[in-house]
Amino acid sequence: MRISRKDVRLVRSGTWLATFAFALAMILQPAQGQQTPEQSRGVVVENMDPAVKPGDDFFRYCNGAWLKRTEIPADRGSVGAFLTLRDKSDQRVKELVEGAAKSNAAPGTNTRKIADLFHSYMDEAGIEAKGMAPLEPHLKAIEGIQNKKALAFALGKTLRADVDALNNTNFHTANLFGLWVAPDFNDSEHYAAYLMQGGLQLPDREYYTGQSDRMKNLRTAYQSHVAAMLKLAGFSEPAARAAKIVALEHAIAEKHLTLAENEDVHKANNPWKRTEFAAKAPGLDWAEYFRGAGLEKQENFIVWQPGAFASESGLVASEPLETWRDFLAYHVIEAYGGVLPKAFADERFAFFGKTLQGTTEQRPRWSRAVTVVNVWLGDAVGQLYAKQFFPPESKARVEKMVANIEEAFRKRIDALTWMDPATKAEAKAKLSTLYVGIGYTEHWLDYSAYEIKPDDIFGNLWRGNLFVYTRETARLGKPVDRHEWTMTPQTVNAVNLPLQNALSFPAAILEPPFFDANAPDAFNYGAIGAVIGHEVSHTFDAEGSAFDSKGRVRNWWTPADLAHFEASTQKLVEQYDKYKPFPDLALNGKQTIDENIADVAGIAASYDAYHAALGGNKAPEQAGFSGDQQFFLAYGQTRASKPREGTLRQQVMTDPHSPSEYRTDTVRNIDAWYPAFQVTEGEKLYLKPGERVRIW
């Protein structure tokens, strides 16, 4: 569940996979496999640990038995409810892909493309037989770079639409810079070109600058890995080259903004004209860079991290041409290493999978092939998925829940004593213009310009990256589609799209344990209802306050509203700063504050909506649990998760979402949780009424 902010996931997913470095992402994604926790029609009693007091450790009360009996499969970094659903979605996609393969569809159709892309990834013998051949023309082109002007052009050619600051939230690209095409901060009716910092293979700047032993050891292992990849590709003096490449990445990392800084949209709205880059970020030959990127006619950009741009551009001038050539060569080898011969793929897994994440086994090839199909032909397979696995009755029931939760927020906004009446009016305007997509997009992507060959996985991915880049850059300056989706129906996630004032809940998350058409309301509101409430609350939280009802960047809060909001959120920052998953690593309350607020708000609003849906009737019991108990248990059980140490440490350092355990325990901020489980003073999660954080 990776990303800013807005989405609920435990691991990064969505369009960020559609990147030049897709293969890295695939390895970092936990693998598929085991079915747990069990699917149910309500609370799963056998997953609970009744020996734990709910007031001491609600996460283990909900999930303790499951935690004890569940082993993390060797091929993944964690296991949990989200990942169980991903398994289910992947199995279904696999069946759809196999169906496509059997149908012998006509060339050029989506069905044929699905079959051919899957086949090309599975064709291990063909990949071995080709060896380095697919990579060679690219390495040759890099070798031919004779001066800094040609270098600038080559760097421009690596630009891809592979970052996303606010929707699926991915700030990482291994290319020098990344492009995000999205509604313009300053003209929300049209698409703009956002440029973002890049250049690092490791997940974040912290991996280069952190001074813990673990980080130092990781850096040593990384440098050996870079050398190993260069050696496999036939480079002379791989160790010496690797040292220089890693030093260059380190210099880039020094000037990168941190994740918490990246998430501040007020620092990001920096419109630069193309002609201003040379003065604002001297060093790189920007005219050549933009020519290489095919953006020589694009007049306007928004530069997310101006300081990093100046610094990275300066390094292009100050560092030797030879180091930059090696940097480019290594980066292309790494990006495509997963579809080169096995020796490359194994070396990549040894570092990114084992050393970095602690995963001991690679996911089965078919499962990685399904990921490839989901990334590159996501809407083609998604169209089949939605038709087969998401009945209209489910769509109707979730839409009804959304309406009830929105109504709960409307009442909560009205009842706020601290918010200015004009601010309340705009918050409600945002609610009434909010577009909530349930299940699947209204407009499927057109893949007709994407050429796929059954025996050319390298080319399929290369062309896939270009296809996405061409499609995205073609949208620059065009009118915005507010009903656009950024996730496929088979994605287990949910997302808030602030520039469109829209939310999406893909079909694949509308499944047990999040949603069950046959379960009582108590369960569904505690599970998917809290997720819906979480996403709706992002509409008018600290970041939502930066975007008005039309998606324009306009702070619609008064200074007094903001001051009150910040004072009350500070209490939540302090609450989370105290959580320590490891003796040497605490959560970062500031980095996770937006998500932590959304969790509290989501549970609170969904709880209100649940009671409104009851209409004064008593809720039916399940397994002896009252309606309110079922509501909170359902919430806690959707958060069941067991990560490896490396995975959990990476999440704490790089993810705006708190780990599942602490997201579960945040029920301590909700008054109704206390009587539901007779939680009393002295129990570990107990907060005095005045210490509980109420924001909405």
Judged by CB, which is closer to Zn ion: 175, or 496? Answer: 496
DSSP state of 305: -
Contact in structure between 46 and 388 (CB atoms under 8 Å): no
Burial of 616 (0-12, 13-18, 19+ CB in 10 A): exposed
The token duo for 262 is 């990246």
CA 599/CA 1 separation, integer angstroms: 14
Q: How far is the CB of 392 from Zn ion (least distance, A)?
A: 28
Judged by CB, which is closer to Zn ion: 55, or 533? Answer: 533
Angle in degrees, 0-180, between the axes of helices 593-614 and 530-538, rounded to the nearest 10 = 130
Judged by CB, which is closer to Zn ion: 57, or 541? Answer: 541
Q: Which stretch binds Zn ion (CB under 5 A): 20-28, 319-327, 372-380, 590-598?
A: 590-598
Q: Which stretch binds Zn ion (CB under 5 A): 102-110, 311-319, 508-516, 594-602?
A: 594-602
Side-chain-side CA neighbours of residue 332 (13 Å): 25
Q: How far is the CB of 551 from Zn ion (least distance, A)?
A: 18
Residue 572 as a binder of Zn ion (CB under 5 A): the answer is: no
Q: Quick count: other Cβ atoms within 10 Å of Cβ 555? A: 13
Q: How far is CA 86 from CA 71, 444, 507, in A?
A: 17, 22, 12
Q: How far is the CB of 3 from Zn ion (least distance, A)?
A: 8
Q: What is the DSSP string of 246-282?
A: HHHHHHHHHTSPPHHHHT-HHHH--EEEGGGHHHHST
Q: How far is the CB of 207 from Zn ion (least distance, A)?
A: 24
DSSP state of 339: G
Q: Which stretch binds Zn ion (CB under 5 A): 337-345, 409-417, 455-463, 587-595?
A: 587-595
Judged by CB, which is closer to Zn ion: 302, or 598? Answer: 598
Q: How far is the CB of 603 from Zn ion (least distance, A)?
A: 13
Contact in structure between 683 and 55 (CB atoms under 8 Å): yes
Q: Which stretch binds Zn ion (CB under 5 A): 121-129, 416-424, 591-599, 612-620?
A: 591-599
Judged by CB, which is closer to Zn ion: 6, or 130? Answer: 6
**Nearest 5°: CA angle at 35, between 581 and 371?**
85
Q: Quick count: other Cβ atoms within 10 Å of Cβ 545? A: 20
Judged by CB, which is closer to Zn ion: 161, or 598? Answer: 598
Q: How far is the CB of 591 from Zn ion (least distance, A)?
A: 13
Judged by CB, which is closer to Zn ion: 248, or 598? Answer: 598
Amino acid residing at 207: Y
Judged by CB, which is closer to Zn ion: 510, or 601? Answer: 601
Judged by CB, which is closer to Zn ion: 516, or 541? Answer: 541
Q: Which stretch binds Zn ion (CB under 5 A): 5-13, 101-109, 361-369, 485-493?
A: 5-13
Contact in structure between 253 and 209 (CB atoms under 8 Å): yes
Q: Which stretch binds Zn ion (CB under 5 A): 1-9, 104-112, 163-171, 625-633?
A: 1-9
CA 452, distance to chain mean position in Å, is 27
Q: How far is the CB of 538 from Zn ion (least distance, A)?
A: 6
Q: Which stretch binds Zn ion (CB under 5 A): 2-10, 404-412, 635-643, 679-687?
A: 2-10
Q: How far is the CB of 621 from Zn ion (least distance, A)?
A: 32
The token duo for 248 is 């260059």
DSSP state of 105: P
User: Could you give the 3-state DSSP secondary structure of residue 193?
Assistant: strand
CA 318/CA 194 separation, integer angstroms: 26
Q: How far is the CB of 515 from Zn ion (least distance, A)?
A: 18
Q: Which residues, 206 to 225, sit near Zn ion by CB under 5 A?
A: none
Side-chain-side CA neighbours of residue 673 (13 Å): 27
CA 227/CA 12 separation, integer angstroms: 28
Q: How far is the CB of 36 from Zn ion (least distance, A)?
A: 25
| Helix intervals (H) in 233-364 | 238-254, 259-262, 265-268, 277-280, 286-292, 306-318, 321-336, 342-348
Judged by CB, which is closer to Zn ion: 183, or 656? Answer: 656
Residues that bind Zn ion (rule: CB under 5 A) add up to a total of 3
Q: What does the per-residue mask of binding to Zn ion show for 51-90, with x meaning CB under 5 A?
A: ----------------------------------------
Q: Say if residue 656 is preceded by a cis peptide, omega within 30 of 0.
A: no
Q: Which residues, 598 to 657, sit near Zn ion by CB under 5 A?
A: 598
Q: Which stretch binds Zn ion (CB under 5 A): 42-50, 378-386, 469-477, 588-596?
A: 588-596
Q: Which stretch binds Zn ion (CB under 5 A): 22-30, 217-225, 239-247, 593-601?
A: 593-601
Judged by CB, which is closer to Zn ion: 312, or 595? Answer: 595
Handedness of CA 458, 459, 462, 467 (dihedral sign): negative
Q: How far is the CB of 267 from Zn ion (least distance, A)?
A: 20
First to last CA, the chain: 24
Q: How far is the CB of 402 from Zn ion (least distance, A)?
A: 16
Judged by CB, which is closer to Zn ion: 281, or 587? Answer: 587
Judged by CB, which is closer to Zn ion: 190, or 590? Answer: 590
Buried-state track 335-364, b at ≥16 Cβ within 10 A, e below 16: bbbbbbbeebbebbbbbbbbbbbbbeebbe
Judged by CB, which is closer to Zn ion: 6, or 119? Answer: 6
The token duo for 450 is 């994407």
Q: Which residues, 335 to 394, sit near Zn ion by CB under 5 A?
A: none
Q: How far is the CB of 4 from Zn ion (least distance, A)?
A: 8
Q: How far is the CB of 493 from Zn ion (least distance, A)?
A: 10
Q: Which residues bind Zn ion (CB under 5 A)?
A: 6, 595, 598
